[in-house]
């Protein structure tokens, strides 16, 4: 399939003239705001990278985070880092230089990786929901059902599935020839923007790739929704309010990110036809805001991540090598917490 795509990219012609590049319309509608937008997107990108790298680094350094939940979170952070890498640097260059051109081959590769990583993110979020379902609904069998090996297999399956779907869609779009003008009414090689330039079967191909995207989006969301229906029914059976609160707290961050991710994605893929200016504005939250919010939510709302971060910032080696550690809550007498010192073995 990749060979077919590559050969089609090289063979494309527009009115018998070799098509060498596309031109993004981008944010040309806001010519007076180019510098402001570039600065805003740059810092947003830096914060996104910092958050995702922090999650991956903390998961690697802290052995207490070597559990399926945090391995999935680290995998999500890695895919989101790659996801933003495929679009943001190019977008920043276009804003600063105002050239906004991309080769046909470069456009095909950007589309392939952008949609492949976007699909991977959806599937990883789905797997994270399945992990929470097993942990809450089957706590006794959870260590057997979700080992680190199974976790790795599920992450690999997410990557393979996401990129396979993207490969099919990219092949369909670039199997047709393109007609001029070669203006892409977007700031990236989005499927629906590029397929509109097709000469022969553009309408048919657009319907096919849109249906594939919508089915994937709705399918993963419904699976997550189903897992939370079972989680909710199990949590409501817990007799104590404290037990219910703890069970819900383990899902709060994931559920928040799912709502944001699928909410913005549905706006992009399920909305009716609008002007190109509206299409560009609606794509900004999905491509830039969501990857920025995801690590922020997972770190600020997670006690384990915050504790691991505090350990690293407070010179972890000094804390772990100390012969004494404070045990909090070791005894509970008449509602008060007991404190004791014990050596670290």
Per-residue pLDDT at 238: 82
Q: Tell me, which fold does domain 2-314 have in CATH?
A: Rhopdopsin 7-helix transmembrane proteins (1.20.1070)
Convert the pLDDT of each residue in 273-295 to its tens digit. Answer: 666 677 788 888 888 999 999 98
Please determine, for residue 16, whether its predicted confidence score (pLDDT) is greater than 60.
Answer: no
Q: How far is residue 325's CA from residue 319's CA, in Å, rounded to a whole number?
A: 8
Q: Map out the domains of the chain as residue ranges.
A: 2-314, 318-345
| Percentage of the residues of the chain whose pLDDT score is greater than 90 | 34
- What does pTM read for this prediction? 0.82
Q: How far is residue 97's CA from residue 225's CA, in Å, rounded to a whole number?
A: 44
Convert the pLDDT of each residue in 135-171 to its tens digit. Answer: 998 888 999 999 889 999 999 999 999 999 999 999 9
Please determine, for residue 28, whether its predicted confidence score (pLDDT) is greater than 90.
Answer: no
For residues 304 and 68, the model is more confident at 68
Per-residue pLDDT at 330: 40
Please check whether residue 116 is in contact with residue 160, taking contact to mean a CB–CB distance below 8 angstroms: no
Per-residue pLDDT at 112: 95
Please determine, for residue 12, whether its predicted confidence score (pLDDT) is greater than 80.
Answer: no
Per-residue pLDDT at 19: 60
Convert the pLDDT of each residue in 181-234 to its tens digit. Answer: 788 888 889 888 888 888 777 788 888 998 999 999 999 999 999 999 999 998
CB-CB neighbours of 125 under 10 Å = 22
Please check whether residue 323 is in contact with residue 344, taking contact to mean a CB–CB distance below 8 angstroms: yes
């Amino acid at each position: 399939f990749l060979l077919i795509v590559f050969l089609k990219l090289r063979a494309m012609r527009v009115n018998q003239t070799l098509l060498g590049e596309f031109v993004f319309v981008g944010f040309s509608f806001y010519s007076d705001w180019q510098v402001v937008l570039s600065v805003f997107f740059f810092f947003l990108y830096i914060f996104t990278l910092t958050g995702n790298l922090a999650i991956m680094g903390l998961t690697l350094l802290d052995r207490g985070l070597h559990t399926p939940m945090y391995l999935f979170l680290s995998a999500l952070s890695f895919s989101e880092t790659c996801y933003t890498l495929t679009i943001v640097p190019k977008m920043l260059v276009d804003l600063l230089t105002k050239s906004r051109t991309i080769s046909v081959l470069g456009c095909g590769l950007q589309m392939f990786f952008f949609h492949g990583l976007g699909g991977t993110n959806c599937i990883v979020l789905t797997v994270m929901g399945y992990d929470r379902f097993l942990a809450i609904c089957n706590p006794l069998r959870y260590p057997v059902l979700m080992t680190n090996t199974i976790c790795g297999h599920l992450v690999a399956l997410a990557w393979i599935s996401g990129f396979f779907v993207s490969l099919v869609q990219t092949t369909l779009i670039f199997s047709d020839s393109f007609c001029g003008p070669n203006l892409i009414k977007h700031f990236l090689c989005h499927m629906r923007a590029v397929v509109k330039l097709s000469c022969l079967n553009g309408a048919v191909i657009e319907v096919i790739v849109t249906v594939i995207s919508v089915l994937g989006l709705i399918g993963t969301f419904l699976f997550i929704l189903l897992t939370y229906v079972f989680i909710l029914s199990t949590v409501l059976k817990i007799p104590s309010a404290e037990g219910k609160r703890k069970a819900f707290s383990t899902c709060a961050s994931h559920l928040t990110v799912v709502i944001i991710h699928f909410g913005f994605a549905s706006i992009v893929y399920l909305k009716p036809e609008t002007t190109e200016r509206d299409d560009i504005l609606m794509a900004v939250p999905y491509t830039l805001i969501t990857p920025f919010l995801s690590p922020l939510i997972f770190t600020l709302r997670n006690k384990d991540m915050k504790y691991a971060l505090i350990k690293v910032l407070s010179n972890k080696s000094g804390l772990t090598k100390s012969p004494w550690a404070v045990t909090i809550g070791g005894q509970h007498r008449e509602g008060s917490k007991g404190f004791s010192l014990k050596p670290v073995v």
